[in-house]
Structures are given as structure tokens and as C-alpha cells.
Structure 1
Amino acid sequence: MQRHLFLQGLAAMSIALCLTAPGAALAQGYPAKPIRLVVPFPAAGATDLFARTLGQKMGERLGTTLVIDNKPGAGGAIGSDIAAKAAPDGYTLLLATTSTHSIGPAITPRLPYDTVRDFTPIAHVGDAPSIMLVPVDSPAKTVREWIEHAKKNPGRLNYASSGNGTIVQLTAELFKAQAGLFVTHIPYKGTALAVPDLITGKVDVLFDSLPTGMPHVREGRLRALGVTSLTRSPLAPELPPIADTLPGYESNTWFGFYGPKGLPAELVARVNKAANEALADPELKDKLARLGIAPAAAGTPEQFAKMVAADAAKWKKIVVERKIANE
């Protein structure tokens, strides 16, 4: 009887080892080859440059190379779909953004993947706030003055965006909703095309990224009224938060790492640790500042998932209430 119980115990231990060994063994030897980092946007763009800058530092800590694989198209959906369908072995990761995992599901309900069910959250790695830009001859010199000016001229002012359903449009619509304004939307195929019309006064306001907007401000071609982060940004400390005038107003483009669903916890922890360590590097912080990106504070995959869920809910509310479509 005792021998029978002993053998049963051995069998149970063997089964447990079989169940846990693959993930543990994979983690011990990981990474044994270069890691493919899918960037769902074109080369030379802000997301791509961020991926290459951070990827180099993470590779040093992981002991391998992060190979950037640009798969642009459909607002980031093409690259995200490729990453979602990859093997959960840690050798295919995705650098996701607000566009792919917060706005995308609200704007395009029939995505070929579920942004929660089909991905494993790994790490929040950065945030990029925008700035509120107006022509230099605008009567408004502060956010409050611009709101007052718009309220005195309902329907007569307009705002530019980089296209329907983009973070630039949603940032402006969030501003309109909180301030209670009637301002007309004029979509462009990118903010670079909108800036000349803003400079000449053909459009009245644009919420643009820091690195592309601030040079025009510092050269006297445009005026910046505020930043879309809740607090002053170290990337432009002279600008007050719009939230000082509209409490709670915030719009950031976040960046984060995901893996396919089923990615073993040991591998998630390994990549998360490498990302957090890389983001603490002073040299990396300086490089990211030049890209207009603030490194995220060290955090867990669970904290990242919670942040994205709250962000997605916020933008879905705006999309539904403002009847925003991507076409």
C-alpha cells in the first residue's frame, strides 16, 4: 500500500514537472536568437525611431538583437495581426501604440484580432504628449482665451487633423467635448500638410506632436498654448498643461510591448525587466527626448494592461459620442 502511494506521488510529481518544465526551460535559454520586433508603422516615423532606439538598449540587456520589422498599413492593424498570429515563443514582439490598441478597436470594430484576448501585455515603455498650436496672430494667448474666443464664434472656427479617426482628431474632439465648443473639423493627410495652413491662418488650431510642432514655435511661426499631458512635460517645460484650464484633460500617445497570446510568464518577465532597465538609462532618456517621447516609469504587465483598458474606454466614449469614423 505504501509502495503504491509512493509511486502515485512520483507520478504526480512527474506530471507537474512536465507541465512546468517547458516554460522554465524556454526561459533559461531565452533568447537564443534575434528577436523580431514588429513595428506596425512605416520606417523613419516616430514609432519606428523609438523602436530602434529602445531596441538597441534592450538587446544589450537581453544579450541578443531586436530586429525591427516594419509592417505598416490599416492604421497599424496589419502589423498587429501578424504579431497576434505569431508563435508564443518570445521571438516575435509588437510595439503597439494608442492607435493600435486604444483607438483601433473603437474606430474599426471588425479587426482580425481582439486587442485583449489575442495579445499578452508585457511593458508600457513610453508616452508622447501633443501641444495645442495656433497662428501667431491668433487673438488667444492662453488656452482659456482660445476657449472664450471659440465660444464667441460658434461654428466659425476650425481645427486641422492628420485624418479621420486619428489620435490628432480625437485629441481635438476631446478638447471640444470638455470645453463645450462647436469647431469644424478639417482633415489632412498628415499634420505636416496642415501646418502651412495653420501658419497662414486658414485653420485656427492644431494638436501636433512636440518634435514636429515646437520648432515652428521656437522660430516664431506658430504659438503654443499648452501641452496635453496632465503635468508639464520635461520636453517643453515652458508650456502649461491644458488640464490647468480643463481639469482632467489628457491625451497621450502611449507605446508598449505585447506578445502573442499564451506567451509564458517567464518570458514576459524577462522582456519586461529588460525594458524597464533600458528605460532607466540616462543616454536613452536623452535620445528619446529628442524624439518627443517620455520614457514610462518602471511597471508590471498588469499595470500596463490596466492603463490600456482605461485609455481604450476613454477613446471609445469619444468615438461613440462624437460619431467619429475613419473614413
Structure 2
Amino acid sequence: MTTRFLPHPVPRLRTLACGALVALAATAGHAQGPDAWPDKPVTLVVPTAAAGGTDTIARLIADALGKRLKQTFIVDNRPGANGILGTDLVARGTPDGYRLLFTYAAAMVVNPSLYRKLPYDPVKDFAPVAQIGRGGNLLLVRNDLPVKTLKEFVAYAKARPDKLSYCSWGNGSGGHLAMESLKKQAGLVMTHVPYKGSGPCVQDLLGGQVDAAFADMSSTVEIVRAGRLKALANSGPSRIPMLPDVPTMTEVGYPFTTYAWYGLLAPTKTPPAVVRKLNEAVNQALKDPAVVQRLRELNFTDLPQNTPEQFGETIRKDLHDWGALVKDIGLTPE
């Protein structure tokens, strides 16, 4: 009698089991892919301390994104080193869309000209997502300074070379560079007093320890309206509704076309679908009347709604323009 053996069933079972595991893995991978994003909380790293201008705008946008994308958006403040610490944290993060950077212009486009060695490259290490706002800073002087306009201030300072001082929130800050640009255009000689933040700078301006400063609008407009400081001009592209009589520097004859902005960025290689979804959600938020009203209250006059590619072009242009300004006024990289 010939004995016949049926094929061993185990290989067949193993094949079926392996196939099932592959199918499950593919399904799980799809659920975790760009189409399902975000399926868990998203963190916005803010490279500044809480309660400042960047933090205030970040929390507004985080709330708006949460409502539109039906997920929790958490603001994580990581201040230090002129925004470098928080920015580098995101640059080295996993490019999955769950840790993003909400930052201000200087950290991305001024720092490369101020530091010989940055741990991140603002172009190579980030995927631009969306620009939020565009504006400038107010040129403020102490109340008892006998000037009422920018032209009067220039004449007063010219007649007193090296007698006036101005403060900023640090070497290479927007306030520092704006004043240095004005000094160069008008031929002024003034002493720079750098502080660790805009708050102490404004307080000393109020106290008369310094004579002038470029300071952020969101924290100083009410001080000006209360008559405690005088605003002579703003470095932004247009006048602000809260102070309609204050001209831009360009209007008065001292062009300043490198503006401040806030922006949302992701680590490079973040899936394009995630970047697009974020960009669309931000642009939708910038059409929301409640969000627009709050941004107007914070003195944002320009709210461009652009694509990631357009925001990338802004970053590249500003890297060139701010770099030229830093070189022109002779700031030495650290």
C-alpha cells in the first residue's frame, strides 16, 4: 500500500497569518498617515516667554486651529537665546505634523546674520506653512522730549550728537535694527541700551531713563493713547486704525520695508498634505470675523492669506534684506 501525505497545513496557516498582519499594518499606517492628521494633540512651540506678543498671537491661532481641525492645539513656550532654543527643538523633531513652530520674523530671518553658527537652517530645516500678519513697531519718545514729529526728532537728535539714548529688547532685535536704519538714513548718533525684553525697555522709557525706542504696538498703543508716551512713526507698511494720525516711516521720508511678521512652520519633510491642511485652516481663521477683530485690537493692519510657497518666498527675501541691513549698519556676528 502506498501511503500519501497531505501537504502540511502549517505553512499555509503561516502564510495566511503573515498576510493578515501585513494588511493590519497597512491599515494602521493609513490611519496614522496624512489623511488622518491630526488624530492626537498638536504642539505649537513658541520660542519666547509667555504673555509676550508672539505668545498672545500663538494662543489665538492655536484656538482657531483647534476649532477648525477638531483637535487640541497646545502652546509650549521654549524661550531662550533670541528664539534659538525653541526653533532648534522643532527643527530636530519628527516631521509628522505634531510638533510645529509658531515664531516671529527675527528668529528666522535675522538670527542667521547675527550668529556665526546656528544649529538650524531657516530654509533647509523647515517647511513654511503660513504667514500670520505683517506689521512694524512704533517709534516712541519720552513725554518731555520737546518734539512732536519724526522730522522734529531727527533735527533735535542731529543737534545733539551722542546725547540721546534709545533702548531695545536686545542686540539685533527688530527695535534695534529699525532705529539703526533710521540713524543711518538721517545721520544720527545715539547710544543703544539693550534690554532682555521689551517690557523693561518701555518701563525705562516711561521713567525717562532713555529717550526713545521702537517698541511693539500691541503693548504700547494704550500707553500712547493715555498720553504717557509720544508716538512719532511706525515701521510697518501702513498706518494703524488705533493711531491713525501716526505716519509710517516711509511716509515721512525714511523708508523701512522689512516688516515684522508671525509664522507657522513645520520640520522639513513634513508630509505636504499636512502642510496644506494647516495652511488652509490658518487662512480660514484669518477670515473669521472674531479672529480678525482680535488681531485688529492687537494692531495688525495687514493679514496676508498666502500659500506655503509664498510664505517661503517671503522668508528668502527677508533673509536677504535683513542680512543686508545687519551688514550695512556694521553689526558683528556673535
Normalised-by-shorter TM-score class: 0.7 to 0.9
TM-score normalized by the length of structure 1: 0.87
Percent identical among aligned pairs is: 38
1:179–1:246 Cα contact (<8 Å) kept = no
2:188 match: 181
Q: Does 1:44 align with 2:51?
A: yes
2:182–2:254 Cα contact (<8 Å) kept = no
- What SS is found at the alignment partner of 2:110? helix
In the superposition, relative to structure 1, how do residues 26 and 279 fare at CA in structure 2: closer, same or farther (>3 Å)?
same
2:170 match: 163
What is the RMSD of the two structures over their aligned residues, measured on CA atoms?
A: 2.2
Kindly provide the amino acid, as one letter, of the partner of residue 106 in structure 1. Answer: S
**Deviation, structure 1 residue 193:** 2.2
**Deviation, structure 1 residue 145:** 1.5
**Deviation, structure 1 residue 84:** 0.8
**Deviation, structure 1 residue 154:** 2.2
**Deviation, structure 1 residue 24:** 11
**Deviation, structure 1 residue 196:** 4.1
More off after superposition, 81-90 vs 177-186: 177-186
Which structure has the larger Rg over C-alpha atoms? 2
2:181–2:329 Cα contact (<8 Å) kept = no
Q: Does 1:317 align with 2:324?
A: yes
- Structure 1 gap ranges (5+): 1-21
2:280 match: 273
TM-score normalized by the length of structure 2: 0.85
1:230 match: 237
In the superposition, relative to structure 1, how do residues 199 and 69 fare at CA in structure 2: closer, same or farther (>3 Å)?
closer
Structure 1 residue ranges (4+ consecutive) displaced by more than 6 angstroms after TM superposition: 22-25
- Structure 2 gap ranges (5+): 1-28
**Deviation, structure 1 residue 178:** 2.3
Q: Does 1:76 align with 2:63?
A: no
1:84–1:118 Cα contact (<8 Å) kept = yes
**Deviation, structure 1 residue 259:** 0.6
1:10 match: none
**Deviation, structure 1 residue 325:** 4.8
Mapped partners of 1:295, 1:91: distance in 2: 28
In the superposition, relative to structure 1, how do residues 133 and 266 fare at CA in structure 2: closer, same or farther (>3 Å)?
same
2:106 match: 99
Equivalent position to 1:254, from 255, 261, 264: 261
2:71 match: 64
- What SS is found at the alignment partner of 2:266? strand
- What SS is found at the alignment partner of 1:212? coil
**Deviation, structure 1 residue 204:** 2.1
How many residues are paired up?
A: 306
1:125–1:295 Cα contact (<8 Å) kept = no
In the superposition, relative to structure 1, how do residues 250 and 204 fare at CA in structure 2: closer, same or farther (>3 Å)?
farther
Mapped partners of 1:205, 1:53: distance in 2: 30
Kindly provide the amino acid, as one letter, of the partner of residue 275 in structure 2. Answer: V
Kindly provide the amino acid, as one letter, of the partner of residue 253 in structure 2. Answer: L
1:6 match: none
Mapped partners of 2:189, 2:283: distance in 1: 42
**Deviation, structure 1 residue 35:** 1.1
1:117 match: 124
- What SS is found at the alignment partner of 1:141? coil
Mapped partners of 2:123, 2:331: distance in 1: 22
2:135–2:235 Cα contact (<8 Å) kept = no
In the superposition, relative to structure 1, how do residues 96 and 245 fare at CA in structure 2: closer, same or farther (>3 Å)?
same
Kindly provide the amino acid, as one letter, of the partner of residue 296 in structure 1. Answer: L
2:202–2:215 Cα contact (<8 Å) kept = no
More off after superposition, 200-209 vs 303-312: 200-209
- What SS is found at the alignment partner of 2:231? strand
2:154 match: 147
**Deviation, structure 1 residue 93:** 1.0
1:122–1:268 Cα contact (<8 Å) kept = yes
